[in-house]
Amino acid sequence: MRKNYFINLFKLASLFCVLNLFNLPLKSSSALAAWALKSNGVLELRTKSDAKLKAYFQKANKLYGDRFWVDFKGELSNPRTIKGNGPIKEIRLGKPKRGLTRLVIEFAANKKINPHNWKLIGIDKNNWRIKLAPFPRNSFQTISEGNFLSSNKFKKRSDYFVNFKNNSSLANLPNVKKNKFYVVIDPGHGGPDSGAIGIGGLRETDVVLDVSKIVTNILNKKGVKVKMTRTNEIDLDLRPRVSMANDTNADIFVSIHANASVGKKRNINGLETFYYSGWKGRLLAEKIQKQIVKVSPGSPDRGVRRGSYFVLKQTNMPAALVEIGFVTGRLDGSRLSKDMHRERVAYSIARGILEYLERMG
């Protein structure tokens, strides 16, 4: 009898332990520990050590306003919505799918948001920071949950640009009169002339053709008529490129290239834009250069300079030749191999062109 009593007691204890396993913290619990959206527009996050985060931005649609969100591994136990104030409509915490936590910041309607330079910075193994927008001082009150561990020894761990969903914030680009301007975009090299060869076999011709197509698409959507000197990998001499612009009376000509260092030195990186003569050519180059350096932090600004390239000297209109980075550089080459960075560069070139056309218009 006594023996059966202990056997049954052991069974009950075992069952109790098994049942209580479900009440223990799961390994899939959210990596997000605390967050604070401060009144200066800075979002701070505290996570589990060495968490991997992904950040996104999406323009407004019929259902939602502009939205920024961060995804964390692990599931949130208590999905919730927090009312915002000022330019912040609301903040939502949820689990869009199993094993994932999402922190969403939705902006109020009619707020002009330009997220193309936003960067999520890993300050140390537990803390992250991103400057969301240059909101006016004290335009809203800080919204936060959880506590942060103070540390004076911040050491930058990593940084990630924000990914874009659906569109590239075309509404934030300068507006010009539709069908008034005609632009020729010239992707350098092509066909058997691959241009510079960089790290991992990265070819200049592939990079600049991709970027040029995106620039063309953006300009078309903004009402600018655009002609590309080439749309695929063909062998094209310099003279036909110039003739395409001169014969059609283009307003501007922009040639897109990528650089390479002598000896393929990986420590050489940078961006530069050339023009040949005239204040309009220089202004065009300055507008483009100003924008491309914004989306390439850490890469040296090599400035705007005069260059006697054939496509600049022989075109009859303001012209610029932009070098979007060194395919041989450790920093530039790595970025230019990624679709997201090419989209950023293309967006910045398009912005520079539109700012110039807006000025001339």
Query: Could you report the per-residue pLDDT of 277-325, keeping only the tens digit for each?
Result: 999 999 999 999 999 998 888 899 999 999 999 999 999 999 999 999 9
DSSP assignment letter at 193: B
Cβ 96 vs Cβ 84: under 8 Å: no
pLDDT the model gives residue 77: 83
- CATH number belonging to domain 173-360: 3.40.630.40
Q: Do the domains 173-360 and 32-165 match in fold?
A: no
Of the candidates 84, 53, 45, the one whose C-alpha atom is nearest the C-alpha of residue 66 is: 84
Q: Helices (DSSP H) in the chain: which residue ranges?
A: 2-21, 204-221, 238-246, 279-294, 310-313, 330-336, 339-360
Q: How confident is the model at residue 338 (pLDDT cuts 50, 70, 90)?
A: confident
Looking at the chain, the whole-number percentage of residues with pLDDT higher than 70 is: 88
Lowest-confidence pick of 52-66, 160-174, 175-189 = 160-174
Cβ 142 vs Cβ 38: under 8 Å: yes
Domain residue ranges in the chain: 32-165, 173-360
Q: How confident is the model at residue 7 (pLDDT cuts 50, 70, 90)?
A: low
Q: What end-to-end distance do the CA atoms of the chain give, in Å?
A: 100
- CATH number belonging to domain 32-165: 2.60.40.3500
Q: Count other Cβ atoms within 10 Å, centred on residue 4.
A: 8
Question: How far is residue 13's CA from residue 19's CA, in Å, rounded to a whole number?
Answer: 10
User: How far are the Cα atoms of 180, 213, 280, 316, 351 from residue 286, in angstroms, in the given order?
Assistant: 22, 22, 10, 19, 12
pLDDT tens across 42-65, in order? 999 999 988 888 888 888 776 788
- List the strands of the sheet with 67-73, edge to edge: 80-83, 88-94, 100-107, 67-73, 54-58, 163-165
Higher-confidence position of 30 and 350: 350
**pTM (2 d.p.):** 0.66
